[in-house]
Every structure is written in C-alpha cells, then in structure tokens.
Amino acid sequence: MEALASPQAPFTVRVFVQRFSSTPRGARLARQLALHQLNEWGIPYGGDASETTALIVAELVANAVTHGRVPGRDFELRLVHAPGDRRTLGVLRIEVTDARGERRPPGPGELVAPPPGSGSGHGLILVEALADRWAVVDRVPPGKTVRAELDLLY
C-alpha cells in the first residue's frame, strides 16, 4: 500500500489589480490604495515594508504617468503577496504596466545617474536601491511592465 503524502500548509497568494487614469491624480490614488491593500493583508501602515512599498509605487506610477502615458489609455497597478517560510513573511511583487512600448527605460545594471542638478531621472535608481529584485518586461499589446520585488522580513 502506498503511503499518503503529508498534508501541505495552506498557500494563499494574494493579488490586487486596479487600472488608473494616467494622470497625477491617478498616480496619487494608486499609491494610497496600494498602502490600504497592504494594511488589509497585515502589512501595517508606517512599517518598513509599507514605507518602502510607498516609495517604489510612487516612483513607478509617476514614471507611468510621465513617460508611459498614451492619451486615452490607463496604467495598471498589480500587487502580489506570496507567503514566505519560517524566515520571511513572503515576497511582495509590485508591477506597474503602461501602454507605451517604444520608450523602454533601462533595466537593472543599465542605469546611469542623471547629471547633477537635473531634478529628474532618479526614480529607477531609487527603485534599484530599495527593491530586492526588479525588471522591465515588454507586454503584448504594446507596452511595458516595470516589476519590483521585496522580500518581507520579520
């Protein structure tokens, strides 16, 4: 007789997806709703994970609104929280997708610091510094997704 495998612990992946208008107001709303969703998932307002997420979301949605805007097209924010093991609270993936495919930003390891006093161009440098992993991914129909992941530690 074959032995039965031991039962696995429940594994719940939480997903939040919302489209927003490609406007400064849409960017602000995306950041606010992201933090609200994290709080609902047990990642409290004001904690390190929440604050880091707020900065990454703010930079990615600002880029989507500023550089990825196509008139009449929205951007999408996707948050995915996969549970961890005994050492971590899991992984949080932040994805921002826009409709502009021809203006692809540099990816990890390709960033060049903007000239001093330029006032812009620091967003992805900040994302690279804060995220444990990040990437720029093409999508079909034309567009791109910038993805950042955070390992959530106890």
Domains of the chain: 14-103+121-153 (3.30.565.10)
Is the predicted pLDDT of residue 24 greater than 70, yes or no?
yes
**What is the overall mean pLDDT for the chain?**
86
What would the mean pLDDT of 68-97 be, rounded to a whole number? 88
What would the mean pLDDT of 10-23 be, rounded to a whole number? 90
Is the predicted pLDDT of residue 2 greater than 70, yes or no?
no
* Model confidence pLDDT, tens digit, residues 100-129: 777 677 677 777 777 777 666 678 899 999
Quickly count helices (H) and strands (E) in the chain.
3, 5
The pLDDT value given to residue 141: 78
What would the mean pLDDT of 13-36 be, rounded to a whole number? 96
The closest of 7, 3, 51 to 43, measured between CA atoms, is: 51
Token digits for 49? 């994970």
